[in-house]
Structure 1
Amino acid sequence: MNGTDLHKTAADCAEELPGAALEHPFGPDWEVFKVRGKVFMLMTEAPGRPVVILKADPAEAHALREQYSHITPGYHMNKKHWITLEGGEGVDKELVRELVTESYRLVLARLPRAEQPVDPRTYGTGTGTGTLAAR
């Protein structure tokens, strides 16, 4: 998947998530997706290549970085809790959608229950039983 397709796939997925909103608090070069005011995805070009920055469980983030050369620590974010995803070999729509949905779920889980538009424990989990890195 190339960088343009990466951005489109990630944005399309984020826009489908309940309560998600797109903002540009850092200017037109940064697309920031939030749920109830909390960031779950950022998109920009860094440096000169399209990237998607997502929240991730620390153990999962480590496993993903080990498995995928196009996943690195979060650009301008906490390196333990955020990852940066670039387009490239092995990056497909399914992976992008899973990572975006998981980032959303992690942020939802930290919100007060009354503010959660869906249950983060069950939303988007489907029937899969493994971790993302075990794909």
Structure 2
Amino acid sequence: MNIEEFREFCLSLPGSSEKMPFQAFRAAQSILAFYVGGKIFCFFDIDKFDTCTIKCATDMIDELKARYNAVDAPYNMSPRHWISIRFNDDMPDEEIKLHVQESYKLLEEQTRKYK
């Protein structure tokens, strides 16, 4: 999967938008984040495009880590609620997309509840 294909996929989810929210932080200026309802559901470094970080159901994190080498604790996010997935590892692209959709759904549902 290439960066443009992944970006288009993230933006294809209803009501999603993109921003580069960390411009004030030199080490994170190239982070592209995708939002639903004002909350980030996925982000990655556009200069590297080697991993994406997504919100994950807490009860799925250990199972995904045990099943895939590609899944790891995220950098600078809570490992109780977020995972990092390496591209081009042992998780197929289609499954990565499914987990991104699940992240999107988690936050979309939260947003709907609190409106």
- TM-score category (smaller protein): 0.7 to 0.9
How far apart are 1:109 and its partner, in Å?
1.5
Alignment: residue pair count: 110
Q: Taking structure 1 as reference, are residues 51 and 90 closer, same or farther at Cα in structure 2, changes over 3 Å only? A: same
Give TM-score, length-normalised by structure 2: 0.83
Aligned residues with identical type, % of pairs: 22
| 1:20 match | 16
Residue of structure 2 in register with 1:10 after alignment: 6
Q: Tell me the SS of whatever aligns to 1:34.
A: strand
Q: CA 1:68 to 1:106, structure 2 compared with 1: closer, same or farther past 3 Å?
A: same
Give the 4+ runs in structure 1 shifted more than 4 A.
none
Distance in 1 separating the partners of 2:69 and 2:55: 18
Mapped to 2, the partners of 1:16 and 1:104 lie a distance apart of 11
1:94 paired residue number: 94
Question: Which amino acid counterpart does residue 20 of structure 1 have in structure 2?
Answer: S
- Aligned Cα root-mean-square deviation (Å): 2.1
> CA separation in 1, counterparts of 2:51 and 2:44?
6
Name the SS of the counterpart of 2:97 in structure 1: helix
TM-score between the two structures when normalised by the length of structure 1:
0.72
Unaligned runs of 5+ in 2: 24-28
Larger RCO, structures 1/2 (Cα 8 Å, 6+ apart): 1
